[in-house]
Structure 1
Amino acid sequence: MPERIFNFSAGPATLPPEVLAQASRDLVNYRDLGMSIIEMSHRSKDFIAVTEQAEQLLRELLDIPANYQVLFLQGGASTQFAMIPMNLLGAGKDKKACYLNTGVWAKKAIKEAKLFGEIDVAYSSEAEVYNHVPADGDYQVDDKAEYLYFVSNNTIYGTQFQSFPATHVPLVCDMSSDILSRPFDIRPFGLVFAGAQKNMGPAGVTTVIIREDLLDRAPENLPTMFKYRTHADQGSMFNTPPCFAIYVVGLVLEWLKNLGGLAAIERINKEKAALLYDTIDRLDFYRGHARRDSRSLMNVTFNLPTPELEAKFIQEAAARGMSGLKGHRSVGGCRASIYNAFPREGVEQLVEFMAEFAKNN
């Protein structure tokens, strides 16, 4: 097997080597049962134990109270853009929700939500090319809103909420790209969801954490598959779940617990990000996209003096074993995604290359 490269991709993203090693063994023979983890019945006691262990670890790491349900669903995070208003706006058009437009994924969620009720876009940073997230005083939440929806970390633009909104309505949050990267109090949240492929595991499973009192807001005529209550009542086993993805999520959660939990990974993430931001700020050759008060610990976005130099930078970095540094097509430039499992060594190699490239160009 060739030496592993440093994968700066925004997702699917790098996983801990020990998780990959364990998964490779269980892919052939899971715990000496004589069959692969991907061959097991999802209703067998052995696989039920896998899902229960994953849920227990997630509850422990995030300190999730008993009055929240943990669901492992299919359809990707994008399906949640519709499922949330389907379920939480109750009867529909006479209900209202509040949204913060801080990037492409928030904008997509707003588009879907408008199909099910009145949507108040209380704040938008689109005019500034989504280079920041708002502070609490920058917007007002309507008293009649059923919830306030926001995206905690914006992968494309490299922005992140440093603290979460303080409001009188339940928070609903897309944490696909920074869940488990830092401690937070889940109690102000009505619902948190995250696609696994950035910080939790492989693509294929979306985790939804929902407060139990919100399960009964769905209208009666909502199709069974799209009701959160359906999946809560069946322990995420209403239909065949994404078994392998859930299994790997459990391995990642165990790795994170053994590392010291969310406080420990937050320290590591801050140290990695500081190396990159310090280099960007120190060298006039690079310009960060995100405002300093909104900088992400997960996705560091930056530009070089010209698109030609950016292309050269990406090509030369790839030749040195640093892949996935091309920025999203909607904003261009470069992006280094340094999620939980991304090693500090890779960041150190990148900043060394950045200094050398600036000097030579």
Structure 2
Amino acid sequence: MNNKIYFTPGPSELYPTVPQHMQTALQEKIGSISHRSKQFQEVYAHAVAGLRQLLQLPANYEVLFLASATEVWERAIQNNVQQESFHLTNGSFSERFFETAQELGRKAQKYAAPFGEGFDVEKISVPGTAELVALIQNETSSGASIPVEDINRFREKAAPEALIYVDAVSSLPYPAFDFDKVDAVYFSVQKCFGLPAGLGVWLLNERCIAKAEALAASGQVIGSYHSLPSLLSKAKVNQTVETPNVLAIYLLGKVLEDMNSKGVAEIRKETKAKADHIYAYLEQSTAFAPAVKHPAHRSPTTIVANTTVPASEVNKQLAAFDMAIGSGYGKHKETQIRIANFPAHSPQQVEALVAKLNELFG
């Protein structure tokens, strides 16, 4: 039996109630139901209602389920950009969204900060021709984060018709977004929602839908099964265009039920307290140091540290105590560690990890 606690940045530790919900799903044969059945419509609606409650999602937002958050990059460009997008990049995933726009033949521009650094929003000028502004609220590769108040400022910086997209893949539900200031937010379930990988969630408003419809009317190809009009036509009746990951949608609805019972305010408060504890240790450690220098730009949910001990060695020693953290991303694989601080990680687990790191490495 695997008793390891996964502090990896996704897939990560499962939410504590997932095994129980999995057992119930098996008993109810959720994996066998038709995605055109009334039972599936109820599963879909339950997950959407849970998201609306947890995130305080306005009525003008729709909820779409895709294969992954990565898929949203392609669908967003196809459906919402005729010519030009603008991207903030400071790590591997924000850079990949920029590259996706280029690969789809759009004129993509970017404002790049060094890996692991945040953005000085005052210095950023958004091109008036940008149809989509891609913001990376939480860069999973580097641990750099954009405060919500800075995200809100882009509505005035961008052209009135521009769509503001926010990558919250490894942070939601921690950031309390003002959904009137943005047009789309997307995430995946294997991080802060403590579920197995295989489901992306796209939250978007009527402005995104109208842009897709306008592009289609102009003759632009915006996709087939996964065009926004196609996805939306099924979402309106609590269905998907093809057979989806039914089990993942069911489990998401159940975990959202648990999270709403706890309350998003308590989840955010607990997440911050755990992050403060980890960063306090990193500040005084002899082996580790926060990789993101400016405290305001440090992610509370994906904590990255420079390490004098190879990341593989850190994990080798932690394995003896049934703990695992993430190695650095890409070329930083051995010189950085990444510690996930998700709702699935209890304060007691975080305290135990910090105590063990201190004991082993100082």
Both structures adopt the same fold (TM-score exceeding 0.5): yes
Amino acid corresponding to residue 57 of structure 1 in structure 2: G
Contact 1:62 1:186 in 2 (8 A): no
Secondary structure of the residue that 1:131 maps to in structure 2? Answer: coil
1:118 to 2:107 alignment: yes
1:141 to 2:126 alignment: yes
Amino acid corresponding to residue 40 of structure 1 in structure 2: I
Tell me the matched-pair count.
340
**C-alpha separation between the residues in 2 aligned to 1:223 and 1:277?**
44
From the superposition, tell whether residues 325 and 69 of structure 1 become closer, same or farther in structure 2 (CA, over 3 Å): closer
Contact 1:19 1:255 in 2 (8 A): no
Amino acid corresponding to residue 234 of structure 1 in structure 2: K
**C-alpha separation between the residues in 1 aligned to 2:197 and 2:99?**
24
The answer for the alignment partner of 1:100 in structure 2 is 88
Q: Which among 201, 205, 214 is matched to residue 211 of structure 1?
A: 205
Contact 1:158 1:301 in 2 (8 A): yes
**C-alpha separation between the residues in 2 aligned to 1:215 and 1:116?**
21
Note the residue ranges of structure 1 that are not aligned, 5 or more in a row: 31-35
**C-alpha separation between the residues in 1 aligned to 2:188 and 2:129?**
29
Aligned positions of 1:24-173 closer than 5 A: 24-27=23-26, 29-30=27-28, 36-74=29-67, 76-89=68-81, 92=82, 95-114=83-102, 115-121=104-110, 123-125=111-113, 128=114, 130-163=115-148, 164-165=150-151, 166-167=153-154, 168=156, 169=158, 170-173=163-166
1:290 to 2:283 alignment: no
Secondary structure of the residue that 1:290 maps to in structure 2? Answer: coil
Query: How many Å apart are 1:306 and its aligned residue?
Result: 4.4
Which stretches of structure 1, 4 residues or longer, exceed 4 Å deviation after superposition? Answer: none
Contact 1:10 1:198 in 2 (8 A): yes
Query: How many Å apart are 1:273 and its aligned residue?
Result: 0.8
Amino acid corresponding to residue 230 of structure 1 in structure 2: S
Query: How many Å apart are 1:254 and its aligned residue?
Result: 0.8
**C-alpha separation between the residues in 2 aligned to 1:286 and 1:147?**
38
Contact 1:133 1:160 in 2 (8 A): yes
Query: How many Å apart are 1:276 and its aligned residue?
Result: 0.8
CA displacement 1:96-153 (0-9 Å, x = unmatched) = 22110121111111111123422221x212xx3x122203212111122212101211
The answer for the alignment partner of 1:337 in structure 2 is 340
Note the residue ranges of structure 2 that are not aligned, 5 or more in a row: none
Amino acid corresponding to residue 5 of structure 1 in structure 2: K
Secondary structure of the residue that 1:225 maps to in structure 2? Answer: coil
The answer for the alignment partner of 1:33 in structure 2 is none
Secondary structure of the residue that 2:131 maps to in structure 1? Answer: strand
Identity %: 25
**C-alpha separation between the residues in 1 aligned to 2:351 and 2:99?**
40
CA displacement 1:46-77 (0-9 Å, x = unmatched) = 12111101101111111222211111122x22
Query: How many Å apart are 1:19 and its aligned residue?
Result: 2.6
From the superposition, tell whether residues 19 and 186 of structure 1 become closer, same or farther in structure 2 (CA, over 3 Å): same
Amino acid corresponding to residue 60 of structure 1 in structure 2: Q
The answer for the alignment partner of 1:277 in structure 2 is 279
The answer for the alignment partner of 1:314 in structure 2 is 315
Contact 2:7 2:341 in 1 (8 A): yes
Contact 2:9 2:191 in 1 (8 A): yes
Secondary structure of the residue that 1:237 maps to in structure 2? Answer: coil
The answer for the alignment partner of 1:226 in structure 2 is 226
Aligned-pair Cα RMSD in Å: 1.7
Amino acid corresponding to residue 137 of structure 2 in structure 1: S
1:16 to 2:15 alignment: yes
From the superposition, tell whether residues 325 and 194 of structure 1 become closer, same or farther in structure 2 (CA, over 3 Å): closer
The answer for the alignment partner of 2:268 in structure 1 is 266
Amino acid corresponding to residue 124 of structure 2 in structure 1: Y
**C-alpha separation between the residues in 2 aligned to 1:199 and 1:102?**
21
Give the stretch that moved more between structures: 281-290 or 313-322: 281-290
CA displacement 1:167-212 (0-9 Å, x = unmatched) = 2343101211111123221111111111221123321111111112
Secondary structure of the residue that 1:140 maps to in structure 2? Answer: coil
Secondary structure of the residue that 2:327 maps to in structure 1? Answer: coil
Amino acid corresponding to residue 328 of structure 2 in structure 1: G
Amino acid corresponding to residue 241 of structure 1 in structure 2: P
Secondary structure of the residue that 1:70 maps to in structure 2? Answer: strand
Contact 2:170 2:191 in 1 (8 A): yes
TM-score, length-scaled by structure 2: 0.89
**C-alpha separation between the residues in 2 aligned to 1:22 and 1:144?**
47
From the superposition, tell whether residues 41 and 226 of structure 1 become closer, same or farther in structure 2 (CA, over 3 Å): closer
